[in-house]
Amino acid sequence: MKKTKVAAPKVSSQVHSADVISIKGSRVHNLKDVSIDIPKNSLVVVTGLSGSGKSSIAFDTVYAEGQRRYAESLSAYARQFLEMQDKPDVDEIHGLSPTIAIDQKSNTKNPRSTVGTTTEIYDHLRLLFARVGLPHCTLCGSEIRQLKVGQIIEGIRSILRRGDRIRVLAPLFRNEYVKNEAVHNMIGQIPSDMYRVDGNYVRRNDLQSMPIDETYPHTLEVFMGELEKGKDAGLVDIVEKGLDWGNGMIVVHIVNSDTNTIFSTDLLCGSCGTRSTALEPRSFSFNSPHGACPRCTGLGITMEVDADLVIPNKKLTLAEGAVEPWVRITGNQTWHLKLLAEVAKAHKFSVDTPVKDLSRKAYDIVLYGTGDQEYEVGKKTAMYEGVIPSLEKRHQETNSDYIRKEIENYMHESVCPSCQGKRLKPEALAVTVDDLGVADVVQLSVDEAVDWFSSLLASDKKKEGVLSGDNEKIAKPVVKEIVERLSKISSVGLDYLTINRSMTTLSGGEAQRIRLASQLSTGLTGVIYVLDEPSVGMHPQDIGKLIETLTLLRNLGNTVIVVEHDAEIMAAADFVIDVGPGAGVYGGEIIASGTLEELKKDKNSTTGQYLSGKMEIEVPKKLHKGSGKHLEVVGATQHNLDNVDLKIPLGKFVAVSGVSGSGKSTLVLDILGTFLSKHFYRAKKEPGEHKNVKGLKHIDKVISIDQSPIGRTPRSNPATYTGLFTIIRDLFTEVPEAKARGYDAGKFSFNVRGGGRCEACAGEGYVRIPMQFLTDVFVECDECHGKRYNREALEIHYRDKDISDVLKMTVEEAKLFFSDVHNVSDKLKILSDVGLGYVQLGQPATTLSGGEAQRVKLATELSRRSTGKTLYILDEPTTGLHFDDIKKLLGVLMMLVEKGNTVLVIEHNVDVIKSADWVIDMGPGGGKYGGRIVAEGTPKELKKAKASVTGKFLK
């Protein structure tokens, strides 16, 4: 028999180590065929200039592919609930395990999300209050206890032991409207010689003949027996029968004091008899109708129409359009004015009188209406409901998002009058544990909460906890879990946050560290964590805590990849990857990789040069003299501020520093920034609590530059935001061919329908193909081939370039191309000066980082004519910036100051604080331990201030 040869299986010549994540040929975004082996179970830092390609490696290659592979392993049904990732442009990736990204962009915009709900602390807190909480009556405040029969008997015996004589009664009905016939039927069924009607004892025979007033509510109770000390035989029978007849309730009338005590096997108030429902975890959820305050639906705030926003200019008459929403929204101002003219005639005032001269009564009629009174308008009759009720009604009833948002322009947020901002129903708010309600507990800061929860349980044999017996057994695992999660939040430097702090109010760095703390609580192993600058917003004092957390995450058996610029975190890393050499098209390469010491020795690594001290950010040799004038905030008391007086020297570079939670943002942004926006630009938002702001005459405008996106859609880009694109489109209209064809600037806009944009893709350059349970595919438009414009627009060339070519240019390329067009090149030079030379003019706003967006805004302001009296407010402008980028940024900020302006920055970066003319340091701690100015002066003076935590890091 002939033997069949079986071919041996082919074995790959390349063996991939299980100890590394091996990337081969990544071309994501600006990466240039990047290949690297990243050690697993290590703390890895990816660093480099802003825009060099750090995130492209960490997030868009490692995380995206790891998440995509995990998602594709799931069923089609499960995939529909996941946000699918695009497949990265990479040849090979080996050694991947499930990936979790913790970035700064994904902070929730949901006002219902709090620190407690995000970390699941609030879920455990709801369970604790439902199981061991002590309910109280919402009417009289007395404790509500659900008793067993044995407890009721013991409670009565304790009354008897005091020497009191008692009568036990069983209520048949309490405070109810009843008919005579029903009363007689009841007493016929229950054999008793004595009853109590509305507090008066009545014999059976008398009650049968006594008429009951059916127009008033009544209480009828059956007399069960009389007992006193030493004469309590039959107590058990009396109680059991009384509970049976009284539907689980008996009333003990203490004769000596003529008072009543109620005992019940249901949840019932012992003083007034008010019934309560059984407590469940959902009773304490503000996201559930079972627990949420009905008035604000659990938000803690309500939207109310503001009379001053409705009639902003009180010098106008009603006939001249003083009621602004009538002009903007209704589209039928004539009808309103005709109706109001009839109302005015009936109530003796005129629509031709300026609003400021109307009587209070007339003003209230205009705003709140005249109820059911009818008026004749032409051939119709109508009621006048008033401007404010009309707007509120329309806001609730409209299905149009546009109308709703328009009406909200005339509304302001206010604390819910029903729950006082506590989000829950009165029944839930009346439940306590150790005399604190759930609303009181969530107002505690993390460090205060750790102490409180720990006090609930006995810590050792000598010390007793607040809870004992069965309650302690029930609460122990819940409390232990809560304390562990709180400790994790504290470990990432956020112990100053309160449990009810809304996630929408957290900075990107704070929100990221909250999610990091949540991941620590899961105890996962074998996971690849990818983090985006977790040190953002952290004071140098707190960096050590963050490093401990990252190390703990690694020691659990995970790979931690961190995009970071902080030198301390780099020093703690097992492996550092430096991406560069430049940014954008000038980056995308691995310049160096290895340990920190290896990086320092690498001459090609800009990062290494700064870390070794060969390159540095120089401290200015001279301080700016300033104008000698000041801007002052007097008596700031918002949040944790302790009656703070802030004095800002004008014409200088001023830094506000301090540990996280010390009150910097509250003082500078919530109070000063908001006040100035309202003062100069009539902004709607109200500033935080303070007494006064002085020195306003010394500045003529305020410009607050934050890290919010420059646009919400890909149609917005640096060219459109800075105004460059308008000038460039005008240049294209001056081309002879464009003039001959009669093209205007709209022909070169990708936003204008019927202009020069490609209508096949609506000027997007790509077409989206829905893929149901897979990620949607974006393919290049067949008509324009990604150029966004139609053939006619692309036929116009300016210096051999069409409009699409110009949008694809980087700032540096465009600077050379438009070098002789001064109004273009000047703006481009400023964009380059702030470190954005690598960014394309048409780069979608949605792809810019927070730091890049902030610098686009800064460049836009720098390009405007300066009056020398402008106050610039920047919130942590160094976020996302490399040492070299910070050096450039400081140069630009100094240019603003040299023109006589004032630059006020909230900052933790030591190099920036050292470069400031004046530093205001807040502290000494965060939360309740902060809220004061502990030191102020030049950086040299701050070094000597013993009370300044920041000063210690300037040495």
Reported confidence tier of residue 852, pLDDT bands at 50, 70, 90: confident
Average of per-residue pLDDT across 247-262: 90
Q: What is the pLDDT of residue 292?
A: 96
Query: Does 140 fall in a domain?
Result: no
**3-state SS record for 894-946:** HHHHHCCCEEEEECCCHHHHHHCCEEEEEECCCHHHCCEEEEEECHHHHHHCC
Which residue from 932, 898, 931, 930 is spatially nearest to 917, judged by alpha carbons? 898
Tokens of 48: 């480099």
Q: Higher pLDDT residue, 360 or 852?
A: 360
Residues 177 and 272 in one domain: yes
Query: Does 832 fall in a domain?
Result: no
Give the alpha-carbon dihedral of 355, 358, 364, 369, to 10 degrees.
-80
Q: Output the DSSP codes for 13-34.
A: SPPPPTTEEEEEEE-STT--SE
Q: Which distant-in-sequence residues (6+ apart) come within 8 Å of 38 by Cβ? A: 20, 21, 22, 23, 44, 62, 559, 561, 575, 577
Reported confidence tier of residue 178, pLDDT bands at 50, 70, 90: confident
Cα separations in angstroms, 215 against 180, 182, 212, 556: 11, 14, 9, 73
Q: Which distant-in-sequence residues (6+ apart) come within 8 Å of 791 by Cβ? A: none
Residues 154 and 274 in one domain: yes
Residues 161 and 267 in one domain: yes
Q: Which residues pair with 617 in a beta bridge?
A: none
Question: What is the helix (H) or strand (E) element at residue 704, kind and residue range?
Answer: strand 701-705
Residue type present at position 114: T
Of 415, 438, 472, which residue sits at a domain end? Answer: 415
Residues 811 and 864 in one domain: no
Residues 870 and 784 in one domain: no
Question: What would the pLDDT profile of 522-557 be if each residue is shown by its tens digit?
Answer: 889 999 999 998 998 888 988 998 999 999 999 999
Reported confidence tier of residue 273, pLDDT bands at 50, 70, 90: confident
Mean pLDDT of the chain: 88
Q: Dihedrals φ, ψ of 127, to 5°?
A: -65, -45
Lowest mean per-residue pLDDT among 39-48, 641-650, 849-858: 849-858
Helices (H), 701-801: 718-722, 724-733, 736-741, 791-794
pTM across the whole model: 0.79
Lowest mean per-residue pLDDT among 200-204, 330-334, 505-509, 919-923: 330-334
Tokens of 527: 């996971």
Strand bridging mode 766-769 / 777-780: antiparallel
Q: What is the pLDDT of residue 724?
A: 94
Question: What would the pLDDT profile of 658-696 be if each residue is shown by its tens digit?
Answer: 988 899 999 999 999 999 999 998 887 889 999 999 999
Reported confidence tier of residue 768, pLDDT bands at 50, 70, 90: confident
Q: What is the pLDDT of residue 329?
A: 63
Question: What would the pLDDT profile of 109-123 be if each residue is shown by its tens digit?
Answer: 788 999 999 999 999
How far is Cα 280 from Cα 738, in angstroms, rounded to an integer?
A: 72
Which residue from 887, 829, 835, 870 is spatially nearest to 620, judged by alpha carbons? 887
Query: Does 113 fall in a domain?
Result: no
Residues 209 and 307 in one domain: no
Residue type present at position 112: R
Reported confidence tier of residue 774, pLDDT bands at 50, 70, 90: low
How far is Cα 566 from Cα 880, in angstroms, rounded to an integer?
A: 10
Which residue from 916, 882, 889, 878 is spatially nearest to 833, judged by alpha carbons? 889
> Is the previous residue joined to 135 through a cis bond, with omega within 30 degrees of 0?
no
Q: What is the pLDDT of residue 895?
A: 87
Query: Does 15 fall in a domain?
Result: no
Question: What would the pLDDT profile of 152-172 be if each residue is shown by its tens digit?
Answer: 999 999 988 888 889 999 999
Question: What would the pLDDT profile of 435-451 be if each residue is shown by its tens digit?
Answer: 999 999 999 999 999 99
Residue type present at position 221: E
Reported confidence tier of residue 11, pLDDT bands at 50, 70, 90: very low
How far is Cα 212 from Cα 352, in angstroms, rounded to an integer?
A: 62
Residues 686 and 723 in one domain: no
Reported confidence tier of residue 461, pLDDT bands at 50, 70, 90: very low
> Which long-range contacts (C-beta less than 8 Å, at least 24 apart) are formed by 395-402?
395/303
| Separation of first and last alpha carbons in the chain | 89
Residues 168 and 264 in one domain: yes
Residues 643 and 607 in one domain: no
What total number of domains does the chain contain? 5
Cα separations in angstroms, 114 against 151, 286, 439, 508, 669: 40, 11, 13, 14, 21
Looking at residue 331, which CATH number applies to its domain? 1.10.8.280
Of 216, 243, 278, which residue sits at a domain end? Answer: 278
Reported confidence tier of residue 9, pLDDT bands at 50, 70, 90: very low
Q: What is the pLDDT of residue 106?
A: 58
Average of per-residue pLDDT across 488-504: 90
Residues 274 and 184 in one domain: yes
Question: What is the helix (H) or strand (E) element at residue 561, kind and residue range?
Answer: strand 559-563
Cα separations in angstroms, 927 against 153, 538, 869, 947: 50, 14, 34, 17
Q: Which residues pair with 906 in a beta bridge?
A: 656, 875
Tokens of 394: 């329309």
Query: Does 451 fall in a domain?
Result: no
**Strand, helix or coil for residue 617:** coil
Average of per-residue pLDDT across 878-890: 87
Which residue from 55, 45, 48 is spatially nearest to 105, judged by alpha carbons? 55
Q: What is the pLDDT of residue 331?
A: 53
Reported confidence tier of residue 7, pLDDT bands at 50, 70, 90: very low
Q: What is the pLDDT of residue 597?
A: 92
Residues 855 and 939 in one domain: yes
Reported confidence tier of residue 16, pLDDT bands at 50, 70, 90: low
Tokens of 607: 């990062």
Q: Which distant-in-sequence residues (6+ apart) come within 8 Å of 481 by Cβ? A: 124
CB 803 within 8 A of CB 789: yes
Looking at residue 40, which CATH number applies to its domain? 3.40.50.300
Give the alpha-carbon dihedral of 856, 858, 860, 861, to 10 degrees.
170
Cα 272 to the center of its chain, rounded Å? 42
Query: Does 647 fall in a domain?
Result: yes
Q: What is the pLDDT of residue 646?
A: 97
- Using CB atoms within 10 A of its CB, is residue 288 exposed (0-12), middle (13-18) or buried (19+)? middle
Question: What would the pLDDT profile of 55-90 be if each residue is shown by its tens digit?
Answer: 999 999 999 999 999 888 888 887 777 777 778 999
- Using CB atoms within 10 A of its CB, is residue 692 exposed (0-12), middle (13-18) or buried (19+)? exposed
Predicted confidence (pLDDT) at residue 466 exceeds the cutoff of 70: no
Question: What would the pLDDT profile of 632-654 be if each residue is shown by its tens digit?
Answer: 999 999 988 999 999 999 999 99
Reported confidence tier of residue 10, pLDDT bands at 50, 70, 90: very low
- Of all residues in the chain, the percent with pLDDT exceeding 70 is 95
Looking at residue 261, which CATH number applies to its domain? 3.30.190.20
Residue type present at position 47: T
Q: Which letter, b or e, does each residue of 340-366 get, where b requires 16 or more Cβ atoms within 10 Å of its Cβ? A: bbbbbeeeebebeeebeebeeebbebb
CB 621 within 8 A of CB 911: no
Predicted confidence (pLDDT) at residue 609 exceeds the cutoff of 50: yes
Per DSSP, the chain holds a count of helices (H) and strands (E) of 38, 32
Q: What is the pLDDT of residue 221?
A: 92
Neighbours of 128 (CB within 10 A): 24
Residues 694 and 811 in one domain: no
Question: What would the pLDDT profile of 188-232 be if each residue is shown by its tens digit?
Answer: 788 788 999 999 999 988 888 888 888 889 999 999 999 988 777
Angle at 271 between CA 265 and CA 277, to 5 degrees: 45
Tokens of 480: 């232990």
Tokens of 780: 């290049």
Query: Does 585 fall in a domain?
Result: yes
Of 547, 581, 612, which residue sits at a domain end? Answer: 612
Reported confidence tier of residue 4, pLDDT bands at 50, 70, 90: very low
Q: Dihedrals φ, ψ of 887, to 5°?
A: -60, -45
Q: Which residues pair with 432 in a beta bridge?
A: 134, 437
Question: What is the helix (H) or strand (E) element at residue 226, kind and residue range?
Answer: strand 218-227
Q: Which letter, b or e, does each residue of 467-490 get, where b requires 16 or more Cβ atoms within 10 Å of its Cβ? A: beeebbeebeebbebbbebbbbbb
Reported confidence tier of residue 775, pLDDT bands at 50, 70, 90: low
Strand bridging mode 528-532 / 99-102: parallel
Query: Does 197 fall in a domain?
Result: yes
Question: What would the pLDDT profile of 305-322 be if each residue is shown by its tens digit?
Answer: 999 889 989 999 998 889
Predicted confidence (pLDDT) at residue 275 exceeds the cutoff of 80: no
Cα 395 to the center of its chain, rounded Å? 24
Which residue from 881, 863, 604, 575 is spatially nearest to 722, judged by alpha carbons? 863
How far is Cα 262 from Cα 140, in angstroms, rounded to an integer?
A: 14
Sign (positive or negative) of CA dihedral 90, 96, 97, 99: negative
Cα 422 to the center of its chain, rounded Å? 17
Looking at residue 751, which CATH number applies to its domain? 1.20.1580.10
What range does the domain containing 925 cover? Answer: 620-709+848-955
How far is Cα 423 from Cα 15, in angstroms, rounded to an integer?
A: 59
